[in-house]
Amino acid sequence: MTERDLVIIGAGPAGMGAALAARENGVKDIVILERADKAGGILPQCIHNGFGLHRFREELTGPEYALRFLKGLQREDIEIRLNTMVIDITPDLAVTAMGRGAGVTRVRAKAVVLAMGCRERTRGAIQISGTRPSGVITAGAAQRFVNIEGYMPGSEIVILGSGDIGLIMARRLSLEGARVKAVCEIMPRSGGLQRNISQCLNDFSIPLMLNTTVCEIHGRERVTGVTIARVDGRMKPIADTRQYIPCDTLMLSVGLIPENELSLAAGVALAGNGGAGADKYMRTNVPGIFACGNVVHVHDLADYVTEESEEAGKNAARYILGKEICGDGYAFHEKDLEPEEGLSPNERQITCIVCPVGCRLTVRLNDNGGVEGISGNKCGRGKDYAIEEFTAPRRVLTSTVHCGRGRRLAPVKTKGTIPKGLLLPAMAEISKVRLDQPGKAGDTVIGDLLGTGVNVVLTDDV
């Protein structure tokens, strides 16, 4: 059994952030154990923008956000063992892992940071009646199929649940040519950020059906349709509201659950949400074991995961070096939701999408349809966005291009906004690109897309 100062389980945004913070606070001997073949956790498949606004004060895609931390790990020469599955952690900090080529290895750590992330709820967790055909898929799995593997899960899709991944996939699938017929949400309000409702559903005229659930799945070999119904105050379907929707795919976006098998093995007490219980310094009840990110509780933003992981890494370092853990600790974030307000005939409400806060803006129009006044914005960018949205709306477009002869995909984005009306024509142009040589994040793959003056660039190294 080898001895290491700090062992971090998971190389997603939580694990990478914790490693860099621990190094900054004096720990030299660090190893990150990651079961996937690439660092970044879920970020490489999150090709959409919206990351980094809090952390870096600029809008990045998931691959770009991951690349910032990966380059930091490389500069600091922090070891990452990929294709390495941790299968056990004991309360005395003995970590057992199985790696490709290395077999079974055991490491004794002075401190451990749990950063395993979370998993999706599946059909079994929500007990939908009906047959068990192919075509029922979780939003995260669909995201990997489309953005990493290059496969479409279906062409006519109903989404159950309005979590952020489901909303983002509604847009992604629409851009790829699928028809998203409805997003059903059993609760009276969406579980996703308002900015995602605006740019993922409203932009594509996808109906959001609140207080509605899927109560039956139809089909034998493949999904042929679903029956939906409104629910009563006890979340039970109302019989006379049942409606059949033909489709070939049911995509589930019904929540995330913190990974907790290793936490339990190590003797870590779980919180009410099933995640590792941790205090504001990210300490668990087991001395020397810290936890951060979605393994503690599911976060809305990767930026908040990074904040929390830096607290965990810093305090793990202090524990290893025998220093007292002190300071203000991590302040847990809640979603910033704005209540709906009554509108006069000349007022409209829109959600600002320039940052994750998603301010609800009230726009007053004059008799000619021009913008007369704006309220509800928490920064000056909100006013500029509202004016643009009512005169010439624009969006950043993210997608993928094919590499070589295989199905390998590379994530790309427009380096700036393009007119919203050009999103589908722009997708058609991007689909023609085939990369036949390596490239770096930021390299241009299409110049002056459709005469907009905006280039399409890689968002990850290829």
Closest to 33 (Cα-Cα) out of 65, 64, 6, 70: 6
Q: Picking from 149-153, 269-273, 323-327, which range would have the lowest pLDDT averaged per residue?
A: 323-327
- What's 415's domain CATH number? 3.10.530.10
Same-domain check for residues 92 and 147? no
Q: 247 and 156 in one domain?
A: yes
Q: Can you state the angle between helices 62-76 and 302-320, rounded to 10 degrees?
A: 20
3-class DSSP assignment, residue 123: helix
Q: Is 134 in the same domain as 229?
A: yes
- 243 and 131 in one domain? yes
235 and 271 part of one domain: no
Q: What are 109-140's pLDDT values in tens digits? A: 999 999 999 999 888 877 788 888 999 999 99
Tokens of 23: 């190094």
Indicate whether 115 and 142 sit together in one domain. no
- pLDDT bin (cut points 50, 70, 90) of residue 331 is low
Q: What is the pLDDT of residue 191?
A: 83
Q: Tell me the mean pLDDT in the region 50-60.
A: 87
Q: How many domains does the chain have?
A: 4
The predicted structure's pLDDT at residue 340: 47
Domain presence at residue 335: no
- d(CA 436, CA 74) in angstroms, rounded, equals 26
Is residue 332 scored above 80 in pLDDT? no
**Pair 294, 310 in one domain:** yes
Q: Which residues contact 163 (CB under 8 A, 6 or more apart)?
A: 139, 191, 192, 253, 254, 255, 256
**Domain end call among 252, 278, 306:** 252
Q: Is residue 269 domain-shared with residue 186, that is, in the same domain?
A: no
**DSSP-assigned states of every residue in 253-290:** ---EEE--HHHHHTTPPB-TTSSBP--TT-B-SSTTEE
241: DSSP letter:
G
- pLDDT (mean) for 202-218: 94
Is residue 342 a part of any domain in this protein? no
Residue 340 located in a structural domain: no
211, 306: one domain:
no
Asked whether residue 332 is domain-assigned, the answer is: no
Record the pTM. Answer: 0.88
The pair phi, psi for residue 292, each rounded to 5°, is -160, 160
Rounded Cα gap, residues 421 and 79, in angstroms: 46
Boundary of a domain, candidates 391, 415, 444: 391
* 215 pLDDT above the threshold of 80: yes
**Within-domain flag for 329:** no
Q: Across residues 56-75, what is the average pLDDT?
A: 94
Q: Which residues pair with 129 in a beta bridge?
A: 216
Host domain of residue 443: 398-458
> Is 107 contained in some domain?
yes
Q: What is the mean pLDDT of residues 183-201?
A: 89
Q: How far is it, in rounded angstroms, from Cα 98 to Cα 81?
A: 11
Can you give the pLDDT at residue 367? 74
What pLDDT was estimated at residue 142? 96
CB atoms under 10 Å from CB of 342, counted, come to 5
Per-residue pLDDT for 338 more than 50? no
Q: Are residues 134 and 246 in the same domain?
A: yes
The bridge status of strand 156-160 relative to strand 249-252 is: parallel
Q: b/e for 286-304, b at 16 or more Cβ within 10 A? A: bebbbbbbbbbbbbbbbbb
SS (H, E, C) 144-174: HHHHHHCCCCCCEEEEECCCHHHHHHHHHHH
Mean residue pLDDT across the chain = 90
106 and 6 both lie in a single domain: yes
**The CATH number of the domain where 169 resides is what?**
3.50.50.60
Residues 197 and 156 in one domain: yes
- The reply to whether 338 falls in a domain is no
Domain annotation covers residue 180: yes
- The residue from 233, 252, 271 where one domain ends is 252
Q: What is the pLDDT of residue 407?
A: 67
User: Which is it for strands 444-446 and 225-230: parallel, antiparallel or unpaired?
Assistant: unpaired
**Chain segment 8-43, per-residue pLDDT in tens:** 999 999 999 999 999 999 999 999 999 999 999 999
Asked if the model's pLDDT at residue 336 lies above 50, the reply is no
